[in-house]
Amino acid sequence: MNSVRPSAQGQRIALLNARLLDPSSKLDQPGALLIENRQIADFGPGLFNEGTAEDVMVVDCAGHCLIPGLVDIRAHLREPGAEHKENLSTASKAAAAGGITSVVCMPNTDPVIDQIALIEFIARRARETSAVKVYPAAAITKNLHGKELTEIGLLLEAGAVAFSDADRAVADSLVMRRALAYAHTFDALIMQHPEDPTLSTGVMNDGEMATRLGLMGIPNIAETIIVERDIRLMELTGARYHVSHLSTKETVDVVRSAKARGLPITAAVAAHHFALNENAVADYRTFAKVSPPLRAEPDRVAMVSGLADDAIDVIVSDHAPHDQDSKRVPFAQAANGIVGLETMFPLALEIYHNGEIGLLELLAKMTVNPAKLVGLDAGEIKIGAAADLVMFDLNAPWQIKIDKLRSKSRNAPYDGRPVQGRVLKTWINGRIAFDIDIED
Amino acid sequence: MDRLQQDNLFPHRHLLGIADLSASEIGFLLDVSDSYIDVNRGPNKKQTKLRGQTVINLFFENSTRTRTSFELAGKRLSADVINMSVATSSIKKGETMVDTSMTLNAMHPDVLVVRHPDSGAVKLLSEKINGAVINAGDGSHEHPTQALLDALTVRRRRGRIQGLIVAICGDVLHSRVARSNIHLLNKMGAQVRLVAPPTLLPTNVERLGVEVFHDMRTGLMDCDIVMMLRLQTERMRGTFVPSTREYFHFFGLDSDKLAVAKPDALVMHPGPMNRGVEIDSVLADDITHSAILDQVEFGVAVRMACLDVLTNNLRADATGMVS
C-alpha cells in the first residue's frame, strides 16, 4: 500500500528538520526525532547534527510541525451494529488523516458496550482492522437505559477507559449519585452527556431561529441544570466528573466556577460547537443537526474563551456518522450528528490562527489533556513513548470537501469551508498511517 | 395579462412560505384572488386556465377543509386533480418522503400541493420536484395560503390592511397559521399583537415584530381584527394548559372579552373550531363580527389564484421567459 516500507522491529527512522512541539513539556523548538523499535528513541535540537547512520531511514520534515498524535476521547464508530454508517477500519483511516492516533469510541452501538465481551470484541476488531488505536468507553447504565449500573469495576479491568451513556444523560439523580459514588471506588471516569431529557424534547437550539423555522427548541438550561446538579453530586461523593461536551455559555461559567472551588471537574467541547452556530441549520440543513444543538453566537464565543482560559480542558470530534437515509428526511426526523475525525484539527487550528489561544495550549487540549483524563500513555513526545506522531503544515490553506472525506458517511456541514493547517503524515507505533503524498 | 409582466410581479416557482415574499408580491396574489371571488359567485364557475394540467394534493397529514378547498380550486380551473393521503399508504410501507415525491415527480404533475406534519418537509420535497409546489401547511412553520385568505378577508371587509391592529390569540407555539400571518401582516403594515399564556408562545417570538400580551382584556384593547387559533392538542406533548375549562375562562373569546376591542372588530378563525375552548359558540355564529365563513369562501379564490400564477410561471419558464 505504502511506498514507504513499514518500520519493522528494529528499523530506525530519523525525522529531521522539524518544529518539535510537545504540550506536556512546553517544548517548541527546531530539532529532530529518532524512531526506533516503534518508540521515540531520542529527540531534540542537537540530534543528528553529526549526520545520520547508513541504516537509518530519513524523513525531511522541511520545517513543519511535529507533534504527538492527537487523542480524541469522543467518537461514535458504529461498530458493532451500524456498519453501513461506519466501521473501525473506515473510521481509522479518517482519524489518521485527521492527525488522530488514539480514539475513544462511545458505547451506543448495537449491542451496547455494557459488558466485558463487547470490550473484548472492540479490542479484537481494532487490532484486526484499525490503523489507529481504539479504546472503548463502556456504558454507565445497562443498555443506556439510565436505570441499572453496569459492572464498572470489571469493565475497567477488561479495558474500558471511561464510562458514558453516549448521547444520553444519566437523568435520574439517584442513579447518577450511585454511579459517581461507585465509580469513585475505582477512580473510573464518568463522562456525562449534559442534557436534561425532559427539557430537551426539541430538535434545535431554542430561540428566534427555532421560532422562525417552526421547530421545537432545546433551551440552554437543559444542559446547565444537569451539570449544576452533577456538581452537587460530585461534592457529595468526592468523585471526579467529566462533561463529555458542552455547548452553552452558562455551562462554561458553571464549570469554571466549580474548578475555582477545587472540584475535580473537567469538560470537553466538540469542534462544531466552536466552529459553527445555529445559523448553520437555517433552511433546515440536517447535516448541522447535532446533540447538543448548535447554539447562538454568544455561546460559540464562550466555547473559544473557555478553551483559552482552561475552563474547557479537551477538544473532541464527537464524530457521529450517519447515512443519507438518516439525514435526507424532514429536520425533526433527522438523526443527530456530524462526522468530525478529519475536520477536528483544522477547525481547532482556526482558533489559533485567529489569535485566541497559543499553539501549545491548543494542542494540549487534543493530546496530553485527553490522554491523562482517560489514563492513556499517549499524547506526549518523550523517550520511550510509542511513536504516535503527526507532521503538519501549520499554515497551508485548503478547503474542506465532504466528498473527499474518508469516513464511510459524509454528514458534515463544512463543504467548501476554507481552513488553514493540514496534516501531512501520521505515524502510529512508528508506521505511516497517513501520508498526504500517497493519499491525495 | 402579459406573462412577462406577471413574472416580474411574482417571480417564484413555488409558494413555500410568506417569509419569502415581498409586500408587492402578496398584494399581487390578493388582486388575482379578488378576481376569482367574482368567478366563484357567478353562474359559471368553470375556467379553462389549467386545462390539461395535473394537480396532486399530497397530504401527509389529515385535512378536510384545506384539501377540499384546493381540490375545488383546481377543478374550477379545469385541472385534473388527484388526492393522495400518504399518511395511510406508502409511508407505512417504509417508503421515505423523498422517494414518494420522486415517484410522483416522474408522473409529471404540474403542481404539487403538499401538507406535512414536519416543519421544513415541503421545502425538502420541493427540491426533488420539477413542477410547482404549494405549501399547504408544514408542521409549525408556514401555511401561506391560509395567511393569504385571511389577508383577503381583512382587505375586503376593512378595505385595507395597513395600520390595522390585529390580535392573534391562542396556541401560537404550534401554529403555522400564526407564523404565516405574523409575516404577512407585518409586511403589509399592520400592527400585530399576540395574546396567549407563556406556555403557548415560542421563545423570542417578539423578535418577529409582534407585541406580546398574556391577558385578553389588555391584548384585545382597540383591536380591529381578532384572529383566534385552534388549540392543537394533537401536537402537544405534555401539559401546556391545565384544562380546556381554565383555558376558555382566561383565553377563550367571548363577547365580554371582545367588548374591549373596536365595536366593529372582526373575529376570524382558521378552523376547525373548538367551540367552547378557544371561542364562544354564539360568537362564532354572530355574523356582525364573525368572518369565519368569508375565510372559507375566499380560501377557494386564493388557491385558484396561486394555481393560476404558479402554472403561468411554469409555462413562461418552459418558453424561456423565466430563468
Q: What is the pLDDT of residue A225?
A: 97
Percent of chain A with pLDDT over 70: 98
pLDDT tier, B93 (very low <50, low <70, confident <90, very high otherwise): low
pLDDT interval class at B88 (50, 70, 90): low
What is residue A2's predicted lDDT score, i.e. its pLDDT? 40
The beta-carbon neighbor of A333 closest among B118, B141, B208 is: B118
User: What's the CA gap between A18 and A20, in Å, rounded?
Assistant: 6
Q: Is residue B81 within 8 Å of B94, Cβ to Cβ?
A: no
CA distance B229 to A281: 28
The single-letter DSSP state of residue B88 is G
- Using a CB-CB distance cutoff of 8 angstroms, which residues of chain A are in contact with residue B202? 210-211, 217
One-letter amino acid at A368 equals V
Tell how far CA A53 is from the center of its chain.
38
Band (pLDDT 50/70/90 cuts) for residue B239 is: confident
Q: Say if A417 falls within a structural domain.
A: no
**Which pLDDT tens digit goes with each residue over A209-252?**
999 999 999 999 999 999 999 999 999 999 999 999 999 999 99
Q: Does some domain include residue A61? A: no
Cα gap A243→A251, rounded to integer Å: 9
**Confidence (pLDDT) at A11:** 82
| Distance in angstroms (rounded) separating the CA atoms of residues B172 and B175 | 5
Q: Which of A52-66, A279-293, B81-95 has the highest mean pLDDT?
A: A279-293
| Mean pLDDT of all residues in A289-315 | 98
List beta partners, residue A12. A36, A56
The answer, yes or no, to whether residue A28 has pLDDT greater than 90, is: yes
Contacting B with CB below 8 Å, chain A residues are 201, 206-208, 210-217, 219, 283-284, 325, 328-333
pLDDT for residue B92:
55
Q: What is the CA angle A339-A362-A29, rounded to 5?
A: 125
> What's the pLDDT at B25?
97
Residue A400 near residue A387 (C-beta atoms within 8 A):
no
Name every residue whose Cβ is closer than 8 Å to that of residue A310 and which is 6 or more positions away in sequence: none
Residue A378 placed within a domain: no
Average pLDDT of the residues in B187-212: 97
Measured CA to CA, the distance from residue B152 to residue B302 in angstroms comes to 8
- Is pLDDT at A5 greater than 60 in this prediction? no
Q: Which residues of B touch A283 (CB under 8 A)?
A: 120, 123
- What is the distance between the alpha carbons of residues B151 and B25, in angstroms, rounded to a whole number? 13
Q: pLDDT at residue A52 above 90?
A: no
Beta bridge partners of B151: none
CA distance A347 to chain B (A): 29
| A173 pLDDT more than 90 | yes
Q: Is residue B25 a contact partner of residue B144, using CB atoms and an 8 Å limit?
A: no
Query: How would you write A15-43 as a 3-class SS string?
Result: EEEEEEEECCCCEEEEEEEEEECCEEEEE
Is the pLDDT at B7 greater than 60? The verdict is no
- Strand runs labelled E in A193-343: 204-205, 217-218, 241-243, 265-270, 314-316
Most B CBs within 10 Å, among A209, A211, A213, A221, to test the B interface: A211
pLDDT at A4 over 50: no
Burial class for A298, CB neighbours closer than 10 Å (0-12, 13-18, 19+): exposed
pLDDT-derived band of residue B1, with 50, 70 and 90 as boundaries?
very low
CA–CA gap between residue B50 and residue B305 (Å, rounded): 11
Per the structure, the complete domain to which residue A248 belongs is given by 69-373
| A408 in any annotated domain | no
Inter-chain CB proximity A207 and B19 less than 8 Å: no
As a whole number, mean pLDDT of residues A326-354 equals 96
Grid coordinates representing B28 are 399581487
Angle, vertex CA A196, rays to CA A195 and CA A199, nearest 5: 115
Q: Tell me what the pLDDT averaged over chain B comes to.
A: 91
A6 cis-preceded (ω within 30 degrees of 0): no
Check whether A88 has a pLDDT greater than 90.
Answer: yes
**pLDDT tier, B98 (very low <50, low <70, confident <90, very high otherwise):** confident
Within A219-326, strands assigned E span 241-243, 265-270, 314-316
Three cell numbers at A207?
430561540
Give the mean model confidence (pLDDT) for residues B302-318.
93
Instruction: Tell me the pLDDT band of B242, cut-offs 50, 70 and 90.
Output: confident
**Per-residue pLDDT for B4 more than 90?**
no
What's residue B323's pLDDT? 41
Closest Cβ opposite residue B121 in set A208, A283, A330: A330
Q: Is there a domain that residue A296 lies in? A: yes
Catalytic residue selected from A114, A165, A230, A318: A318
Contacts of B142 in chain A (CB under 8 A): 214
- Partner-chain contact B119 A212, CB within 8 Å: no
What cell numbers appear for A422 in the block? Answer: 493540514
What interface predicted TM-score (ipTM) does this complex get?
0.92
| Residue that has been written with the C-alpha cell 504527538 in this structure | A68
Mean pLDDT for the stretch of residues A383-407: 97
Range with the poorest average pLDDT among A290-299, B1-10, B142-151, B280-289: B1-10
Count of structural domains within chain A: 1
Q: Name the DSSP class of A291.
A: S
* Contact between residue B248 and residue B230 where contact means Cβ atoms under 8 Å apart: no
A318 is catalytic: yes
The DSSP element (H or E) to which B114 belongs, if any, is strand B111-116
Helix H or strand E encompassing A393:
strand A389-399
For residue range B102-135, what is the model confidence (pLDDT) as tens digits? 889 999 999 999 999 999 999 999 998 999 999 9
Type of residue numbered A252: V
A254, pLDDT greater than 50: yes
Specify if A281 maps to a domain.
yes
C-alpha cell at B269: 378563525
Chain B residues 42-81 within an 8 A CB cutoff of chain A: none
Asked if B176 has any chain A CB less than 8 Å from its own CB, the reply is yes
Indicate if the pLDDT at residue A1 is higher than 50.
no
Of the pLDDT bands very low, low, confident and very high (cuts 50, 70, 90), residue A9 is: low
Strand partners, A27: A22
- Does residue A75 form part of some domain? yes
d(CA A238, CA A241): 9
Tell me how close the Cα of A187 comes to any Cα of chain B, in angstroms. 40
Determine the residue type at B183: H
Q: How much is the average pLDDT of A363-375? A: 98
Domain presence at residue A3: no
Least confident of A256-265, B7-16, B148-157: B7-16
Residue with cell 525525522: A15
Q: With beta carbons less than 8 A apart as the criterion, state whether A294 and A337 touch.
A: no
- The whole-angstrom separation of Cα B23 and Cα B134 is 19
d(CA A313, CA A308): 9
The answer to whether A111 touches A406, Cβ cutoff 8 Å, is no
Q: Is the pLDDT of residue A7 over 50?
A: no
CATH number of the domain enclosing A160: 3.20.20.140
State percent of chain A over pLDDT 90. Answer: 94
Instruction: Give me the pLDDT at residue B2, please.
Output: 46
**Using 50, 70 and 90 to split pLDDT, how confident is the model at B317?**
confident
pLDDT for the residue numbered A8: 52
Which carries the bigger pLDDT value, residue A422 or residue B91? A422
pLDDT-derived band at B236, boundaries 50, 70, 90: low
d(CA B127, CA B131): 10
Q: What pLDDT is stored for residue B321 in this prediction?
A: 54
Mean pLDDT of B12-19: 97
Residue B239 forms contact with A (CB below 8 Å): no
Q: Taking 60 as the threshold, does the pLDDT of residue B322 lie above it?
A: no
- CA nearest neighbour of A269 among A230, A309, A216: A309
Q: What kind and span of H or E run contains A177?
A: helix A173-186
DSSP tag of B166: E
What's the CA gap between A358 and A53, in Å, rounded?
Answer: 36
Cell representation of residue A439: 493519499
Pairing of strands A27-36, A39-44: antiparallel
Q: Do A329 and B97 touch (CB under 8 A)?
A: yes
The angle formed by the CA atoms of residues B224, B228 and B230, to the nearest 5 degrees, is 170
The confidence score (pLDDT) of residue A199 equals: 96
The stretch A77-104 carries a mean pLDDT of 96
